[in-house]
A and B are shown apart, each in its own frame.
Chain A
Amino acid sequence: MISISNLNLGFRARTLLAEVSTDFPQGCLTALIGRNGTGKSTLLRALAGLNNRYTGDILIDGSRLRDLGRPEMARRLAFVNTERTRIPNLRCRDVVAMGRAPYTNWIGRLSENDALAVDDALRAINMQDYADRTMDRMSDGECQRIMIARALAQDTPNILLDEPTSFLDLPNRYRLVELLGELAHSRNKCIIFSTHELDIALRRTDRIALLADCTLTNLTAEEMNESGLIPDKFGISL
């Protein structure tokens, strides 16, 4: 569960969020939408502890983000960014295993428990067969799924993803968001992802948080659809 209260957030001199308070509950897939430059990435980075330039509070499972040390933060929250991560010669299993870093010893040795978590993460995204392949020979969609498996292996109650669908074709976009929804429901995780896919967000997520005019409107997908806010803020009709 991620909660924010009285959050003020800016990028350089510009204010992106002013006095925003809301909750992102467990077992729920939330899409973060908004036009370019409204601060989706900046907000996600702040929630992930990568951007400290904010005032107000961010609470991760009840603790203030500012008070959490890095190792503790890594046990509560995993993050997947937009970068196309392709490390030559690194097998998928090793990539996913890196998600166990918050739990392993100084040299990163996997315990039996860690190895099980890695297998489980690969199974959850249906990529067991890729375990011994290296990422430089895989498609963007497959790489993206491996990075998500890495976040799953991190075994955190909360997962944030920055535009996870951007390099994928349309069927894969739907598939990925459906997968995120399943993971949120079956594993009772709080999953938030930013996206420009309004269609997919409205049809396949539980909640939608709309960033516009320095406010964040966090509603269920249905409520958001009925509110008429999307055509209003995006200047389009769906």
Chain B
Amino acid sequence: MQKRRLVFIISAILPVVLFILDLTFGAVSIPPGDVWKALTGGDIAPTTRAIVLDIRLLKAVVAVTGGAALSVSGLQMQTLFRNPLAGPYVLGISSGASLGVAMFILASPLMTLPKWMSAIGVAGAAWIGAAAILLIISLVGRRIKDIMVILILGMMFSSGVSAVVQILQYMSHEDALKSFVIWTMGSLGEVTPMQLWILIPAVAAGLIMAVAAIKLLNLLLFGEEYAVTMGLDTRRARILLFVSTTLLAGSVTAFCGPIGFIGLAIPHVCRMLFYDADHRVLVPASMLTGASVLLLCDIISKAFTLPINSITAILGIPVVVWVVVRNSARS
């Protein structure tokens, strides 16, 4: 118990420390004192202020939001599908969102939309795409319990979606194509302040729903039959988790591009750190750890000027391998 409290305190402090580190770290070196001045509105050069507030602060806020959102959505899916390898990226939900975004971005030169409308359009398209894939996976997952089958289906969805996206690219306008290709690389820095006003409320709503679903998730650990006979309203549970996951995974994918492995790996890291399966522990733990890890990924990606997706993959894949090996050893 003592040890667990310590782990909790550390994982609560860590995001704060990494957030500050993230602000002081970047292509241009700015002394911590100047960062502080820029944040508090002190006397500082306007360019420095712009770098700190418009680039670094924005990116760090996106990292915190995205990390928490992806991790919690992964946790929800792992419990709902009773599948340790479930996650927004692996199940193809990010791909579904990508397809929505692709259709929207590539079609957008045909319409002339004001900026705020295109921001909402991107988010809406991603939500619809994510929800569609989630729906299909849920329907299949009810019949097929084999975790590998679900996993392969998710991969098939991803490949299918990229095929469709390639066809769309082939037929689309050059400018739209460029902005889409940049989007697919995944980035925390492409989010505009206006998009942030959609991202943050959407993720906050998804996280509130996740907290409201804690008891349902705990019941679902035992499978649907047990959950129902212990008083679970399946329909309510499914709708709540469905909407929450769509908001969390869909919104982040809409504005940051498909970011892999965070949603799959972080819940396992939390289970290991806290040695628990109770969602009263895992939901807050996933939020904190997810935020920390994505901040860390951002710092690493700035240090080596690498795309964020390659960092999350390098950090996440060992966790996935470990989960697969442990699972096959068990059965």
Contact = CB atoms under 8 A, between A and B. Distances in A.
A88 B271 CA distance: 9
B238 interface: no
Interface residues of B, number: 23
A170 interface: no
A77 interface: yes
A47 to B, nearest CB: 11
A89 interface: yes
Interface string B202-242: 00000000001011001101110110111111000000000
Contacts of B330: 136
Contact of B221 (A49, A81, A87, A99): A87
A118 to B, nearest CB: 14
A154 B230 contact: yes
B275 interface: yes
A45 B222 CA distance: 16
Contacts of B232: 70, 101
Contact of B229 (A48, A85, A88, A90): A48
A81 to B, nearest CB: 5
A106 B275 CA distance: 23
A25 to B, nearest CB: 21
Contacts of A50: 225, 228-229
B230 A98 contact: yes
Interface string B230-257: 1111000000000000000000000000
A94 interface: yes
A38 B95 CA distance: 45
Interface in B173-221: 212, 214-215, 218-219, 221
Contacts, number: 74
A102 interface: yes
B223 A90 contact: no
A73 B212 contact: no
B280 interface: yes
B54 interface: no
A90 B231 contact: no
A107 to B, nearest CB: 6
A26 B326 CA distance: 45
A99 B230 contact: yes
Contacts of A87: 221-222, 277
A67 B79 CA distance: 30
Interface string B305-331: 000000000000000000000000010
Contact of A90 (B219, B225, B226, B277): B277
A102 B230 contact: yes
B44 to A, nearest CB: 45
A108 B277 CA distance: 14
Interface in A68-94: 70-71, 73-75, 77-79, 81, 83, 85, 87-90, 94
B226 A77 contact: no
A36 B37 CA distance: 77
Given A88-B271, A136-B330, A70 B231 contact: yes
A94 B214 CA distance: 14
Interface in B276-307: 276-278, 280
A104 interface: yes
Given A90-B276, A90-B278, A101-B231, A79 B226 contact: yes
Contacts of B229: 48-50, 73-74, 77-79
A81 B228 contact: no
Contact of A74 (B214, B218, B230, B277): B230
Contacts of B228: 49-50, 70
Given A88-B277, A89-B275, A136-B330, A83 B231 contact: no
Given A50-B228, A73-B231, A108 B221 contact: no
Contacts of A90: 221, 276-278
A83 B223 CA distance: 9
A228 to B, nearest CB: 36
Nearest to B234: A70
B233 A108 contact: no
A173 to B, nearest CB: 22
Contacts of B214: 107-108
Interface of A: 45, 48-50, 70-71, 73-75, 77-79, 81, 83, 85, 87-90, 94, 98-99, 101-102, 104, 106-108, 136, 154
Given A73-B229, A78-B229, 5 more contacts: A48-B225, A48-B229, A49-B228, A89-B275, A99-B230
Which 3 A-B pairs have CB atoms at the shortest separation, nearest pair first? A74-B231, A79-B229, A90-B277
